[in-house]
Amino acid sequence: MLTISEFGRRAGLSHKALRLYDVSGLLAPAQVDPANGYRLYDEAQLERARRISVLRQLDMPLTTIAEVLTGTDEDALIRLDRWWAAEEATTAARRATLQYLRDRLSRSGTTGLAPRPVHTRDVPATKIATIRVDTDQQMLVGMIVTCTDEITSYLRAAGATATVGSWVIFHGAVTPEAEATVEICVPFDGLVDPSGRIGIRVEPAHREAYCTITMDECAYPRIMLAYDLVYDWVRSSGNPEAGPPREIYRPDCHLLPRDEPAVDIALPILERNL
């Protein structure tokens, strides 16, 4: 057995960190001396302690570390890659937001979004796997990436085939100051049961108005100009809204050149009777 000092020295962790990991359930001591309360650790715990230390250097939250270290090393690798993809997506979104603001400051008086048409189309009933989560604007992009990857991994493991694209339905207004419910949706072919937070349902057939934007234009707050364009068109056309707005992503849209069409901003509508 190793004392907390010796264990901390070998693991590269302070007494304060080890006590925190004990309280949080991440790394409890193997034994606590009943007479003096001294924490004692097993040498076999060093590898877990070192992994925790490295993950903390990545600024990974303790709750996420607990998820990453649950299960096999293969499971940990999948969870680690999923979290890192979300972090990179969030960083890219923040960088695009900064560029938008710089662009607006240097070209005041411009709209910030090039003119483009709003189209309509009929969408058939579609079987989808979904995850509903509450998120704010800062966490939105990372949440979309993480949940989409979780859904597609589950579908693949269940023997189903994810079909073209994915989308996110906004059941409330997601802002930097307030959370709202979003639903990440992946269409698929095959027979799959719900599992955990992954639900299975059919998205009803509907008609929708939409405009298409690039990945550069997809960053908040620039993307709100595209929403304004669609909402303005719907109001002026006299076609009532028939459902919550959504962002529809083309396959591997994150791999497309930043200035190519990649995302549709869509709003379900009811056709006006003429």
**Where in the chain are the domains?**
2-68, 119-269
DSSP state letters, 9-47: HHHT--HHHHHHHHHTTSS--SEE-TTT--EEE-GGGHH
**pLDDT tens, residue by residue, 96-148:** 778 777 776 776 555 567 889 999 999 999 999 999 999 998 889 889 999 99
pLDDT tens, position by position, 74-92: 989 988 998 998 888 888 7
pLDDT at 112: 65
pLDDT of 134: 96
Rg for the chain, CA atoms, rounded: 24
- 51 contacts 69 by C-beta, under 8 angstroms: yes
Q: How is domain 2-68 classified at the architecture level of CATH? A: Orthogonal Bundle (1.10)
Task: Please indicate whether the domains covering 2-68 and 119-269 agree at the CATH topology level.
Answer: no
Cα separation, 16 vs 274, in Å, equals 71
| pLDDT beyond 50 at 274 | no
pLDDT tens digits for range 173-222: 988 888 999 999 999 999 999 999 999 999 999 999 999 999 888 878 78
Question: Which residues are paired to 268 by β-bridges?
Answer: 208
pLDDT above 50 (res 233): yes
Cβ 60 vs Cβ 86: under 8 Å: no
Write phi, then psi, for 171 (nearest 5 degrees).
-85, 0
Lookup: tokens for 29: 């001591």
**pLDDT reading at 23 higher than 80:** yes
Report the distance separating Cα 163 and Cα 146, nearest Å. Answer: 18
Is the pTM higher than 0.85? The answer reads no
Cβ proximity of 125 and 202 under 8 Å = yes
Q: Distance (Å, rounded) from C-alpha 69 to C-alpha 32?
A: 23
CATH 3.20.80.10 is right for the domain spanning 119-269: yes
Tokens (6 digits) for 224 = 């709100």
Q: What is the pLDDT of residue 147?
A: 94
Q: Check residue 272 and give its pLDDT.
A: 66
Separation of first and last alpha carbons in the chain: 82
Three-class secondary structure of residue 189 per DSSP: strand
- State yes or no: cis peptide before 261, omega within 30 of 0: no
